[in-house]
Chain A
Amino acid sequence: MVRALSLMGQLGYGYNRDSFLRGMSEGVDFIGVDAGSIDSGPYFLGSGNMKANYDATRSDLEFPLVTALNKKIPFIIGSAGYAGGDVHLSKFMEIVEDIAKDNGIHLKVCVIHSDLDKNVVLKLFREGKVKSYEGNPPLDEADILSSTHIVAQMGVKRFLEALDLGADLIVAGRATDASIYAAYPLMKGCDPSLVWHMAKIIECGALCAKPASPSDALLGWIDEDAFYLKPPNEMRRCTVDSAMAHALYENTNPFVIEEPDGTLLLENAKYEQFDERTVKVYGAEWRERKNPTFKIEGAKFSGFRTIALMGVRNPDMIELLDDILDDIRDEAEKMFKTNFKLTFRQYGKNGVLSDLEFDNRLHEIGLVVDVVADEQKVAHKICSVVKSRLQHYDYKGRVATGANVAFPYSPAEIDMGEVYEFSVYHLVDEDLNRYFTIEEIEL
């Protein structure tokens, strides 16, 4: 039997120390935690910044890591520093080094890199090995060249090697969430079908429990015939529904989960309530892929953003607002010959659902003027001009000549800094494991 503890769904969200200790007291063979995602948008990969800062990451990592070392069990982290690029890994390792120094502990760390050189991606592209991902637009060379960082999601292979090397701590770059939890039980010879299915569920911590939480722990253990899921926190339960529903989460297909190393088929998976807070699962099927495939992710710099927020309350102006905004956009495009993108967001009208909005009730609009340009001062200037045009626009039937809009803030313009967009999200038909190098560090 192999017992895994998932510390939480995402490192940096604030872990539950009591749950961690209760989980540990049941006997645990390794601890895993996912530290990143692509979910929060392109900024983190593009800029090289971590999402959870030094303090948030350190306070979640310190005690559990020291505890794992004392118990001599491996601690496995995937997608370190959120986006998993080399720049993220080195920021993350500063935290690990500080924890080791301040606690007087020694450990062997295996850092697994996932950063891809642009020339490598370019070569793969020219060889026809980069494919679109489930129908998204195909890649072109400009997308690759304009990216600030490109990473690949690694599978389980390098995790297995790092465990073989005797790592106390694995700090992996961008990795599939399931690979974090699959490595140890695979090394111990557990049934791959059970391993991958369990790994896929426990990576989100107590998000698969009721009540759900991404910042609480989950225990998973595998025996000969099944795996079991239980939250150490006694206020939560794993139920058949909660575990099953989680398999749907963030996958386009409810029955098929693709990993670099193979495919997990869930059609015949069985979920049973084992005891009040534990679910027993079996029956999924893992099909190993002969030639692994990898997802690559890249983000590019798109400029600097300045926004202004204002409320529109006058019903006559609301009635004409689309035309007013078109007119002001035309004016701005004539006035500024530089490269910029102007977006108006009308909260209260269609700010969330955009073209899919179906509800036409309206009495107030929260208007966001959003300008992205090559320099911050240019974005600021354009935003400022557009803002003042809105303030004084002489629309048909206007009776109030003070100001057309309500500004909650002074100054109205807010500089937002650098903006990034995804440039690469594609599949590579080539074994990328050779680029996932392992760096062995003794602290």
Chain B
Amino acid sequence: MRLKEAVKVLRSKNAGVWHITIDIVFKNSELYEIAKTKLTKELFCELFNRNELEYFQCDSINTLKVSFLREQAAGSLKDTDCLGANFYIPLMEIEI
């Protein structure tokens, strides 16, 4: 099953001017528990080319959350996504 089929919400958004945060809310605890073993902090670091990021497992709400620094502040000359709303795209097709 691909991640996009296992979730109720899969989104990214700015958290302020300098951070991206990704919310992955699973349809149920079974899918969440399966996905948790696959979607590790290391995987996110690799996918988003980051040395460091914040990684949260929210067991009570079947949710994974990941936050990291942007390359540049939102809306800078070289920024491609002022709202930070497309950083979930590399996750959609991941097989869990």
Contacts and interface: CB of A to CB of B under 8 A. Distances in A.
B83 interface: yes
A353 B65 contact: no
A429 to B, nearest CB: 18
B25 interface: yes
Contacts of A422: 17, 73-76
Contacts of B81: 352
Given A254-B58, A352-B80, A421 B86 contact: no
A241 interface: yes
A421 B76 contact: yes
Contacts of B19: 134, 136, 252
Contact of A245 (B17, B23, B89): B23
Q: How large is the interface on A (under 10, 10 to 19, 20 to 34, 35 or more residues)?
A: 35 or more
A185 interface: no
Contacts, number: 108
Interface in B69-86: 69, 73-78, 80-83, 86
A252 B67 contact: yes
Nearest to A251: B15
A419 B78 CA distance: 12
B82 A136 contact: no
A297 B65 CA distance: 26
B19 to A, nearest CB: 5
Contact of A425 (B17, B49, B67): B17
B77 A341 contact: yes
Interface string B7-27: 011000111111101010100
B17 A352 contact: no
A118 interface: no
Nearest to B79: A41
B90 A248 contact: no
Residue of A38, A43, A370 with highest tally of chain B CB at under 10 A:
A38
Given A40-B82, A241-B8, A254-B56, A425 B73 contact: yes
Nearest to A420: B75
A302 B77 contact: yes
Contacts of B56: 253-255
Contacts of A345: 80
B48 A356 contact: yes
A245 B9 contact: yes
A134 B53 CA distance: 11
Contacts of A55: none
B66 to A, nearest CB: 9
Contacts of A102: none
A189 B4 CA distance: 45
A42 interface: yes
A41 B89 contact: no
B57 to A, nearest CB: 10
B42 interface: no
Given A353-B80, A353-B90, A419-B77, A135 B14 contact: no
A356 B80 CA distance: 11
A421 B63 contact: no
B75 A251 contact: no
Nearest to B25: A245
A343 B79 CA distance: 10
A79 B76 CA distance: 22
A164 interface: no
A355 B49 contact: yes
Contacts of A341: 77
A174 to B, nearest CB: 13
Nearest to A342: B77
A370 B61 CA distance: 43
B5 interface: no
Contact of B78 (A43, A133, A244, A343): A343
A111 to B, nearest CB: 25
A39 B56 CA distance: 23
Q: Which of A295, A355, A358, A421 has the most CB of B within 10 A?
A: A421
Contacts of B69: 134-136
**Central interface residue in B16, B86, B87, by most chain A CB within 10 Å:** B16
B95 interface: no
Interface in A351-382: 351-356, 358, 370, 372
B30 interface: no
A224 interface: no
A352 B18 CA distance: 17
Given A42-B74, A135-B18, A355-B49, 5 more contacts: A134-B16, A136-B73, A248-B25, A252-B15, A356-B48
Interface of B: 8-9, 13-19, 21, 23, 25, 47-49, 54, 56, 58, 61, 63, 65, 67, 69, 73-78, 80-83, 86-87, 89-90
4 A-B pairs with least C-beta separation: A41-B75, A252-B67, A136-B18, A422-B73
16 contacts: A42-B17, A42-B73, A133-B18, A135-B69, A250-B14, A250-B16, A250-B21, A252-B16, A252-B67, A253-B54, A254-B58, A341-B77, A352-B80, A353-B90, A356-B47, A421-B73
